Amino acid sequence: MPFITGALIIGGMALAGSFYTADQARRQAGAARDQAQKQSAATSQRAAQQLSVQREQAKTARERLNFEVGQSAEQRQLLDTQAKQAAESLQTQQREMAEEESNRMRQLRRGGRRSLLSQERLNPEAGLGDFGSVQLGAGNGLG
């Protein structure tokens, strides 16, 4: 019987040891689960923070793009206005030059050579001389 008693004691110790080992394994598994949950929560929190930062960056980029598009539209409108004004100014200048040339050509056709000669006779640089001069044409140097 001592054998049976010894076997029971050893068996009881083995059984107690297996309960201890199972309890220890359960505790380790629980601790591992807790640690995994903490890591998962931390990872989830970091992901949420990164997502928040990315959303803020996207919002800032969208606002900047809208601002630049608006500014670009304003600049384009200003350039279009300036181009229209420049085109109108050029057309006005061309029209005035054409009118002047047309008037000059009309005067040449109507007045002929005498019109041009009379204009030169009235030009002080071409021969009228000074106001105090008695003779008209004294500035010609012909006499």
Give the pLDDT confidence of 68-91 residue by residue, as tens digits: 999 999 999 999 999 999 999 999
Looking at the structure of the chain, the number of domains it has is: 1
Burial class (CB in 10 A: 0-12, 13-18, 19+), 128: middle
Domain-located, residue 42 = no
Q: Confirm whether pTM is higher than 0.85.
A: no
Average per-residue pLDDT for the chain:
78
- Which H or E run contains 13? helix 2-122
Domain range for residue 59? 48-108
Distance (Å, rounded) from C-alpha 143 to C-alpha 127? 12
Domain-located, residue 58 = yes
Predicted local distance difference test score (pLDDT) of residue 62: 95
pLDDT along the chain (143 residues), means of 10: 56 58 86 94 95 96 93 93 96 95 85 54 53 52 47
